[in-house]
Amino acid sequence: MRNGAQPVLEVTNLKTIFRTRGGEVHAVNSVSFDLKPGELLGVVGESGSGKSVTMMSLIGLLPSPPAEVRDGRVMFDGLDLLKCTPAQLRAVRGPGVGFIFQDPMTSLNPVFTVGYQLREPLMKHMGMTKAQAQVRAQELLELVGIPDAGRRLKDFPHQFSGGMRQRVMIAIALACDPKVLIADEPTTALDVTIQAQILELVKDLRQKLGMAIVWITHDLGVIAGIADRIMVMYGGQIVEHGTVKEVFAKPRHPYTRALLQTVPSVRGERAEKLNVIEGQPPILRAAPTACPFRDRCTLRFAACDAANPARYAVGPGHDAACFWDFDTDAPRREVTETADV
Amino acid sequence: ERGADGELKIIQSQAASTMNQYLSSGTKDINASSMVSEPLASYKPDGTLMARLAAEIPTLENGGVSADGKTITWKLLPGVKWSDGTDFTADDVVFTGQYCMDPAGGCAQLSKFEGIEKIEAVDPLTVKITFLKPKTNPYSAFVGALAPILQKAQFEKCLGANASSCTEANFKPIGTGPFMVTDFKTNDVAVFEANPHYRDPAKPAFARATLKGGNDAMSTARAVMETAEYDYGWNTQIEPEVQAQMIAAGKGKFVTAYGGLVERLELNMTDPSSALPEGERSTVKHPHPIFSDIRVRQALSMAIDRSLLVEIGYGEAARPTCNLVPAPEMFASDNTGCLTQDVEGAKKLLDEAGWTDTDGDGIRDKDGKKLSLVFQTSVNPIRQNFQAMIKQWWNDVGIEVELKQIDPSVFFGGDAGSPDTFQKFYADVQMFANEWDGTDPQAYLAQLTCEKAPKPEDQWQGENIPRFCNPDYDALIKEMLTTADAGARAEQIKKLNDMVTKDAMVTVPLANRARFSAVSNTLLGVEMNAWDSEYWNVADWSRAK
Amino acid sequence: MTDTTAAKIRPPRNQWWDVWDQFKTHKGALVGLTIFVAILGLILIGPLVWHIDPTYVDFRARNKGFSLAHPLGTDQLGRDLLARMMAGGKVSISVGLTAMSLSIFLGATIGVLAGYFKRLDGHLMRLTDLFLALPLLPLLLLMVTLFRDPLSKGFGPEGGIFLLIVTAIGATSWMQTARIVRGEVLALKEREFVLAARSIGTPAHRLVLRHILPNVMSPIMVSATLGIASAIITESALSFLGLGFPPDFPTWGRLLFDAVDQIQLYPWRVILPGIAISLTVLSVNYIGDGLRDALDPRIRGR
Amino acid sequence: MFDGGKRPLVEVEGLKMYFPITAGLFRAKVGDVKAVDDVTFTIFEGETLGLVGESGCGKSTCGRAVLRLYEPTAGSVLIDGEDVLAAPPGELRALRPKMQMVFQDPQASLNPRMTVAGIIGEPLDEHTTLNRAQKLARIYELMDKVGLNRDFANRYPHEFSGGQRQRIGIARALALNPRFIVCDEPIAALDVSIQAQVVNLLEELQDSLGLTYLFISHDLSMVRHIADRVAVMYLGRIVELASRDALYEAPLHPYTQALLSAVPEPDPNAETTRQRIILKGDVPSPANPPKGCNFCTRCPKVMDLCRRVEPEYREVAPGHFTACHLHNQTAGQTAA
Amino acid sequence: MFQYTMRRLLIAIPTLLIISLVIFLLLEAAPGDPLGEVPLTVPPEVKAKMRSALGLDAAWYVRYFLWLKQMFWIEPMHLIDTLFGTHLADDMQRVISFQSRQPVMDIIAQRMPQTLIVVGSAYVIGVLIAVPIGILSAYRQYSWFDNLGTFISMIGFSVPTFFTGVVLIVIFAVKLQWFPMVYDTTLQVTDWDSFTKQLRQMVMPVTVLSLFNAAQISRFMRSSMLDNLGQDYVRTARAKGLTERVVVLIHVLRNSLIPVVTVIALGVPSIFGGAIITEQVFKVNGLGQQLILAIHANDLPMVMTLTFIFAVLIVLFNLIADLLYGILDPRIRYD
Ligand SMILES: Nc1ncnc2c1ncn2[C@@H]1O[C@H](COP(=O)(O)OP(=O)(O)OP(=O)(O)O)[C@@H](O)[C@H]1O
Ligand SMILES: Nc1ncnc2c1ncn2[C@@H]1O[C@H](COP(=O)(O)OP(=O)(O)OP(=O)(O)O)[C@@H](O)[C@H]1O
Ligand SMILES: [Mg+2]
Ligand SMILES: [Mg+2]
């Protein structure tokens, strides 16, 4: 049913670089994906793979300089966000796209009350008066499960625990009923028990509000629990993408496979020895001309050094950027063919 | 017409700290209070006396001074009123004497009342002063800006130990002068209004006056000569070139008056060596090892180009001199021998004295001892320029000089505990300026007698700074004490002057410094006076129309 | 893979080289350093080339403008201004450097002690507060009047007053550094590498020297560069109040102060020392900026 | 498994670490942060004891107090029979080589201004009298052991990746041939793909050098992998301690149960069916712990008793300790 | 908060006592004599009498305790007397200046207005200039504006005020004759005319001082802004769709002001200390000049009282700065 719907967010060929003293850093390379209404898209990948930069590029939240969005198209609501005026962009932030950031400790302004920070977007985008915003802010806090919300609106962020601050962040992101919610590692800094609370909350909210969500995380377990589709990033690119069930059952990129194998489990079999992805993530000094994973890949062969693999379809709604065909356990035919030419 | 010319604005390079002269010897304060308080008689610019609150100057001829010189009787001007409207009477004069002579009062002008046996009011308009001994110069008490009359009614409670705590009276004394104080901020500003009871109904021309304290000569001069914010600037001693620049601005002029102020070098006749035990340094026990030879002293003087010093240091504000007593005219010796520099002569004299450069390092030596001097003075830009120049000249004749500068409050502070006072003179040469009060330099010259050499026993409080000692000189001073004849006195003064300068060269006069102030072009009636307050005739000042 | 075994083992490299590498990339700092070195060169090497004695009075050459014999002209006594500027610079910069070193030494020592040893903290901070609350000027004045003589006896008039001024400025300006350093040390003390060193059994003094001090270098360096500037300026202010060096002893502050009266006649006499002071202060500040960046491993790491 | 056969290396008895809270006009002490409150456990030679719990529950404090990096309020710690807490400073220094620590944040635990050689060599400087060459040889040996290229000896910490940095920290800890290492969340700051490298290294080293670990972590799955026995801490106390399998398969304490159920599983099928125990509310402050059982404010199985009486920490099954009223009867029975 | 304040105040008492003792002993140890200005003609016996009239013949600790008593007991009572017309301190000896023999507090009260007006308004103006400059140069870091600002503030920092003061005088008082060069302390502002006059005479000293102040404070402001611009919460604010103005001027500024406000508070005592050099240059004759005069004249009670008041202010404003920090920053709790 979801497949048929028109995507709310469509990203094509996004490229973002940073200009640093040491030269350019190609943090995001030709990233394309889409997001359907009411869907939860999980994004995983190791640290530095470009997850955050990708999402922040979408609505121009990267500091510029040093960041620069080189190329691409981000269609949201019939609008190309990359070509918007700052004012148009501001109108999208909040009501269009809500953002939850990774670190709940620093993402709230320490000198304003939670109520103030919640009212701000309400008054700006929803045209509410202060009194109306106050009422709505209280509702929002209640929605994210903060007890005694009316009183706590007067509190400052430091008076909240980490989990509660993250809920406040969620409430702020939800304030203007965004069509898309981008959650950038919202539970990484939290304890498992608190993380479980937040995950429950999000599941709950999704049912109630039906927004589309992008959920960034390191933790494959989290994704497995809540996402519909998953996108694996590596070296600034999407290396695999598909429905959660597909990808977890049949990972079609060596990185995804390795990732799934490195993680020990609390329940299943206890491995005697953990699998390791040897080596370091690539340094993104230039636009990639070869597979970014090749240095750490156990299946590396000549083609990997020659070109950067495209995203090959490997199943229904499932694609992977790898020259290796896991079904046949041999290099892809496309590669061998082009190699002949 | 009184009050027609608005406000008179005076700026002084130092602010007044009190309006009561008897509690301060600073010229800044004396100037300020002379606008309000008046003496019986004061000095005119030429040094002669003029009656002020007295009806006339008492003399032998008019019987005011007794033939034995033991009394002087002042007749007061009738009809004079204090600024509060009460009458000025002989009682006030008697009270003022009592006030200053009170031993507990710490009167700064006590010397003016020296030798007085009693002061009595013969009648409301007559005051008679009786001296203990006959006085050759009886015009001391109540004469000059230093010794004005205080109002008895106001100061009655301020006798003795209470003197200094009577702030209200000290800051706003009631006077007979052209102005009266309306506001006084110590060390900042004094505001005056014309005295409604001033004896001349047409004066003063100004309705108000402000006396502001600047903090330096430069800005004082600038406020009059360049920005014309002020009408009169007291003590604008600045560099000659800047003087010229300011004159060129065309807003005012500098006025000068030469008194007895002489910038001079004093040569230590005793040994200041720090090798000596404390208490014997710079005392007559040890004669100076170098300066005991007069040829060295003369050579030092000959090496100096006084005109150049004045040209660079003072410009219009001083003139070269060879005298310790350069003014008034009648006392000034015709001593001009030092005015031309004679470097060769100086070298020759030093050679003769046995100081020769044996080791070729450019510094003369004798018996293995270098001709090396310590030259100290107070911190003051002009003095430092002088030091640099004199050092250069002395270097040129083969003398090594070490310069030393001491904070003026320490140098002149008289603190027996400090090694840096000019009285202790822990140096070979020092430079400062000095003058005397009034016109008669007798007491001033008497400071150079042998027994006045500063010594530790009396806390170094002697005035014979160079520790000069010549029995003939002391004898002449004694003789002078009994000489009444003006002509003879003048001769004696000249002789004494020559004995310390030309003959002995213990005091090396450099320049006779003038009082130097700035006057705006719009201010009329200013007549510079070196013997009294510069504002002595402020009642006559007026605004150019 | 990442190992490049072929490469020979790099020779041990002093970390100051890394600092320098980073420093080189800071344009302002490089310009500042060049200027500062040029000034130092002028002051130190200049007198070897330019032989005129700064106190030599030349009556024939009074108030001269720029000429070959006197490139910067002469003053009212015919003293060569170039020579005086060089001599003055030597004093001003030595005052700046020495006073700064003293104040940094005091500040760093007290800051480190207070930050590291909890027992001393209260007392040392009280002492710092006390010094902060002591009015500076009377203190300086008193020090000058009290100690000028004994010191002049021991070290000569110039040496004595130099020591005095340097000590006076140093002893009254360390408090800010102490506070900053203390704060840094307090934070640093909680860092895990300090704990790691303690778990090894490193005794306190070595811990301070090896782990704490090198890591508070950046704030110290910044205070140091600011310290040089303010010491030079304080010296000139002291000259203004008549408390500084003997009046015939050239320093930049004194030259500036002496020439202020003639600003309309000979503006360059004011401007030259003014520029010298400003240039020094500016260049030192930019050097400080660069050093701060260069000493910060996070920045250097990029 | 690890029954009585093994020799206890570390014996912690009644360890308390209180941080005073001061207030009022004269900074009087008004209370304590009971960061570690009466903790007792034993670690046997060659084993790994996992210590898990939520942030702020006192894991790090406990680890540090054991090594006497803090001065504990009460209790005793015997390491290899020697009382660490009672040792005077000189002796303590001599004991240091025996016990070492690996820290949570590899970035923060390395002095940014020292080279790798300097960092690894520091313990050698402090405790040995090796000459330069010997020292360098030892440093290289250690670097080889932890899998660092010898070329890196002159580099600075910032030039390394997180995993490599943690290796440096481990090499430093190994320098003096310790018997016992406290690993305070050695992998928490590392990326998933690198965590495994470090954990593997630690395991290898344990095998080859016979090390004993106290492995502090909040990552239950990693602890399951590396630890032989596991202790669960909550608010300054150990609520449950058991062998790994016993704890993961049959947790007794409600908190342990909740903790385990909250860990998400990277398996979408399992995730959809799994039943979570969601704890309500936040951890109370250790400065003001609740009366009775510490966990009573969040416990899904809370009883009246829990709010009044503090449960006793006791052995409810062989080698399985817990502090919960639910298991008191059983404990009583076994004891009887 | 209250307890914290009380504790700080309690600690301040011994600190201040020690400071007063230190100052007193230093002044005692310094050479120089309050009678140094008394002419040499005054005989030693009289001098001795004057000395004892000043209380100088008592032992130092007696005089110290006398000063303490006068300062903390008599002067406050006198204040009550003047405020409420009571007669508590009628026959008691107040702290008297050696120099002018006037009660020290009266002189201070007399000079306070000009110091406060000139130095105070310079401070306020300096702050008002500095804050926007700091904000802008941080927001546009490394722009030409920032570089220029840095450059100018360094110049402002490195050029002594006696130089800037004289330059201003030469240009605006001598050449252009726009402003007077001598400050008139007797001017009473009663009407528009005298008001403009007051303004005119304030322009130059205030400019000199505020430039100097602005140079320093703008540096603080800039670095504080820079610190905060990089914080995560700024990104959050932007993600809410707020305008840059709101983000910078409300979210960032509010946080950046916290350290700056305390720096500003710490600078306030220097207003009372007066700007010694600037006061000299423009003849403002305020407290700074009074201090210098008193030091030169060995006026012990005056120096003592002035420096002590200054110390009290420093301690007080240190406390105020800390409390302000606590008020502005909700994270800080003093208890
Ligand atoms: N301001 C910046 N300047 C230079 N490079 C940057 C900057 N911000 C990010 N990068 C680079 O961009 C790349 C992607 O970073 P990003 O933050 O998107 O990673 P991530 O996948 O979100 O990692 P994490 O899981 O740690 O949040 C990294 O290599 C990083 O070094
Ligand atoms: N020096 C200290 N002073 C006061 N309280 C402290 C101190 N150190 C730790 N605490 C408190 O003790 C408690 C336990 O802290 P600890 O660091 O041991 O927790 P942890 O379990 O290691 O948490 P994390 O997983 O976040 O590292 C916390 O509440 C902490 O606030
Ligand atoms: Mg990220
Ligand atoms: Mg911890």
Of A99, A120, A173, the CB nearest to E242: A120
CA B33 to chain centre: 17
In the predicted model, is pLDDT for residue A215 greater than 90? yes
Asked if pLDDT for residue A340 goes beyond 70, the answer is no
The pLDDT > 70 percentage for chain A reads 96
Name the nearest CA neighbour of B148 among B176, B168, B125, B129.
Answer: B176
Which ligand does the CA of D17 lie closest to? 2
Residue that wins the pLDDT comparison between C204 and A281: C204
User: Smallest Cα–Cα separation from B389: which of B309, B301, B509?
Assistant: B309
Is any Cβ of chain C less than 8 angstroms from the Cβ of B363?
no
Phi, psi of E118 (to 5 degrees): -75, -60
Atom 25 of ligand 2: nearest residue by CA position: D55
Residues of chain D with Cβ-Cβ distance to A280 below 8 Å are: 161
CA distance A156 to chain E (A): 7
Residues C246-259: tens digit of each pLDDT: 777 888 888 888 88
Which pair of tokens denotes residue B78?
């009738």
Owning domain of residue A122: 101-175
| DSSP state, residue E96 | B
**Ligand 4 geometric centre to CA of D28 (Å):** 28
Which atom of ligand 1 lies at the shortest distance from residue A284's CA?
A: 29
CB atoms closer than 10 angstroms to residue D332: 12
Cα radius of gyration (chain A): 21
CB atoms within 10 A of CB E320: 17
pLDDT surpassing 80 at residue D290: yes
Q: What is the pLDDT at residue C201?
A: 85
Ligand 2 atom at minimal distance to the Cα of residue D57: 21
Residues of E in contact with D22 (CB under 8 A): none
Task: Give the pTM.
Answer: 0.82
For residue C37, tell me if it sits in a domain: no
Cβ contact C76–B239 (<8 Å)? yes
Contact B63, B242 (CB under 8 A): no
Question: Distance (Å, rounded) from C-alpha A195 to C-alpha A191?
Answer: 6
A280 CB near ligand 1 (under 6 Å): no
Atom of ligand 2 nearest to the CA of D17: 12
Assign B10 to helix, strand or coil. Answer: strand
DSSP code of D70? S
Instruction: Answer yes or no: do A114 and A90 share one domain.
Output: no
- To which H or E segment does residue B75 belong? strand B71-75
The alpha carbon of residue C4 is apart from the nearest alpha carbon of chain A, in Å, by 13
- What's the pLDDT band for E43 if we cut at 50, 70, 90? low
D25 with E7: Cβ contact below 8 A: yes
Q: Does residue C69 lie in a domain region?
A: no
Chains that touch A (3 or more CB pairs under 8 A): C, D, E
Burial bucket for residue D71 (CB in 10 Å: 0-12, 13-18, 19+): exposed
Dist CA E153 CA E148 (whole Å): 8
A47 ligand 1 Cβ < 6 A? yes
Instruction: Examine the domain organization and report whether A65 and A112 are in the same domain.
Output: no
Q: Pick the residue of B220, B278, B403, B410 with the most C CBs within 10 A to test the interface with C by mutation.
A: B403
Range of the domain at C136: 79-296
Which three-class secondary structure state does DSSP give residue B453?
coil
The DSSP result for B204-253, as a single string, is -S-SEEEEEE-SSHHHHHHHHHTS---SEEE-----HHHHHHHHHTTSEE
Q: For residue A119, which amino acid is it?
A: R
- Cis status of the peptide bond prior to B328, with omega within 30 of 0: yes
CATH node for E109-328:
1.10.3720.10
pLDDT tens for each residue of chain B, 545 residues long: 788 889 999 999 888 888 988 887 778 888 999 999 999 999 998 888 999 999 999 988 888 898 888 899 999 999 899 999 999 999 999 999 999 888 777 787 888 888 899 999 999 999 999 999 888 888 888 998 889 999 999 999 888 777 777 888 889 999 999 999 999 988 889 999 999 999 988 889 999 999 998 778 888 999 999 989 999 999 888 888 889 989 998 899 999 999 888 999 999 999 998 888 888 888 988 999 999 999 999 999 999 999 999 998 898 889 999 999 998 888 888 888 889 999 999 999 999 999 998 888 889 998 888 899 999 998 888 888 899 899 999 999 999 998 888 877 778 777 777 788 888 899 999 999 888 877 888 888 988 999 888 888 878 878 899 999 999 999 999 888 888 788 888 899 999 999 999 898 999 999 999 999 999 999 999 999 988 999 999 999 999 87
- Average pLDDT for residues A21-32, to the nearest whole number? 84
Residue A27 alpha carbon to ligand 1 centre in Å: 7
Please report which confidence band the pLDDT of residue C146 belongs to, taking 50, 70 and 90 as the band edges.
Answer: low
Neighbours of E47 (CB within 10 A): 18
Q: Which residues of C touch B312 (CB under 8 A)?
A: 62, 76-77
pLDDT surpasses 60 at D334: no
Contact E330 A110 (CB under 8 A): yes
Mean pLDDT within C205-227: 83
The answer to whether D287 and D263 are in contact (CB under 8 A) is no
Contacts 24+ apart (CB under 8 A), D200-209: D200/A273, D200/A274, D200/A276, D201/D146, D201/D147, D201/D167, D201/D170, D202/D170, D202/D226, D203/A273, D205/D145, D205/D146, D205/D170, D205/D174, D206/D46, D206/D48, D209/D174, D209/D177
Q: How many domains does chain A have?
A: 2
Query: How confident is the model over A238-243, as a mean pLDDT?
Result: 92
pLDDT of residue A341: 38
Residue A157 phi, psi (nearest 5): -50, -35
Asked whether residue C38 is assigned to any structural domain, the reply reads no
Q: Are E67 and E95 in contact (CB under 8 A)?
A: yes
- Break chain E into its structural domains and give their ranges: 109-328
Q: CB distance A109–E328 less than 8 Å?
A: no
A57 lines ligand 1 (CB under 6 A): no
Provide the residue type at B489 as one letter: R
List the beta bridge partners of residue C50.
none
Q: What is the CATH number of the domain that holds C255?
A: 1.10.3720.10
Q: Which atom of ligand 2 is nearest to the CA of D104?
A: 27
Interface contact E239-A92, CB threshold 8 A: no
List all residues whose CB is within 6 A of at least one atom of ligand 2: D 19, 33, 35, 53, 55-61, 218, 286
Query: How many Cβ contacts (< 8 angstroms) between chains A and D?
Result: 122
Ligand 1 contact, A64 CB (< 6 A): no
Minimum distance, in Å, between the CA of residue C248 and any CA atom of chain B = 6
Q: How far apart are CA C275 and CA A180, in angstroms?
A: 60
Evaluate if residue A308 carries a pLDDT over 90.
Answer: no
Of E242, E278, E305, nearest to E114 by C-alpha is E278
Contact map slice: C 192-221 vs D, CB within 8 A: 192-193, 195-203, 206, 210-211, 214-215, 217
User: A274 and D54: CB-CB below 8 Å?
Assistant: no
pLDDT of residue D16: 92
- Both A162 and A278 in a single domain? no
Answer whether B312's CB lies under 8 Å from B289's CB. Answer: no
Q: Give the architecture-level CATH label for domain D2-335.
A: 3-Layer(aba) Sandwich (3.40)
Of A267, A58, A260, A297, the closest CA to residue A179 belongs to A58
Is residue A50 in contact with ligand 1, taking CB distance under 6 Å?
yes
Identify which of D192, D239, D199 has the alpha carbon closest to the alpha carbon of residue D58. D239
Q: What are phi and psi of B135, to 5 degrees?
A: -110, 130
Q: Identify which of B33, B3, B1 has the alpha carbon closest to the alpha carbon of residue B17.
A: B33
Cα nearest neighbour of E98 on chain B: B164
Instruction: Name chain B contacts of E29, Cβ cutoff 8 Å.
Output: none
Rounded distance from Cα D257 to ligand 2 centre (Å): 23
Question: Cβ of B314: how many Cβ atoms within 10 Å?
Answer: 25
A13/A34 same-domain check: yes
Q: How many CB pairs under 8 A join B and E?
A: 134
User: Residue E27 is inside which H or E element, if any?
Assistant: helix E2-29
Residue C162 falls within a domain, yes or no? yes
Share above pLDDT 90 across residues of chain E, in percent, rounded to a whole number = 8
Q: Per mean pLDDT, which range of B232-236, B429-433, C92-96, D325-329 is the poorest? A: D325-329
pLDDT for E36 beyond 70: no
Residue C235 resides in a domain: yes
Neighbour order of strands in the sheet with B126-131: B71-75, B126-131, B116-123
In a domain, A333, yes or no: no
Contact (CB, 8 A) for B192 and B181: yes
Is E258 in the A-facing interface, judged by CB distances under 8 Å? yes
How far is A103 from D134, CA to CA, in rounded Å?
46
SS3 content of chain A, % helix, strand, coil (to 5): 35, 25, 40
What is d(CA C130, CA C139) in angstroms, rounded to the nearest whole number? 13
Do chains D and A touch by CB distance (3+ pairs < 8 Å)?
A: yes
Distance A47 CA to ligand 3 centre (A): 7
Average pLDDT, chain C: 81
Q: Give the model confidence (pLDDT) of E297-313 as tens digits.
A: 778 888 888 888 888 88
CA distance C153 to C229: 29
Atom of ligand 1 nearest to the CA of A233: 21
CB contact under 8 A, E159 and C278: yes
CB contact (8 A) between residue C76 and residue B312:
yes
Inspect the interface and report whether the beta carbons of C2 and A22 lie closer than 8 Å: no
Ligand number nearest to the C-alpha of A284: 1
Out of A14, A16, A24, A25, mutate this one to test ligand 1's pocket (max ligand atoms within 8 Å of CB): namely A25
Report pLDDT for A2.
44
Q: Which candidate from A21, A279, A280 shows the least CB-CB separation from C302? A: A21
Report the separation in Å between the CA atom of C196 and the middle of ligand 4, taken as the mean of its atom positions: 14
Residues 6+ apart with CB under 8 A from A328: none
Using a CB–CB cutoff of 8 Å, tell me whether C160 touches chain E. Answer: no
Q: Are D185 and D216 in contact (CB under 8 A)?
A: yes
Establish whether residue A53 lines the binding site of ligand 1, counting it when its CB lies within 6 angstroms of any ligand atom. yes
- Across residues D298-326, what is the average pLDDT? 88
E330 touches chain A (CB under 8 A): yes
Q: What is the CATH number of the domain that holds A3?
A: 3.40.50.300
Given a cut of 50, is residue C2 above it in pLDDT? no
DSSP codes of every residue in A165-189 = HHHHHHHHHHTT--SEEEEESTTTT
Q: What is the pLDDT of residues D231-262, one digit of tens each?
A: 999 988 999 999 999 999 889 999 999 988 88
pLDDT tens for D83-108 read 888 888 888 888 888 899 998 888 88
Q: What is the mean pLDDT of residues E238-264?
A: 88
What ipTM goes with this model? Answer: 0.81
Q: What b-and-e string marks burial along C176-192, b requiring 16 or more CB atoms within 10 Å of the CB?
A: bbbbbbbebbeebbebb
Nearest CA to ligand 2 atom 1: D19
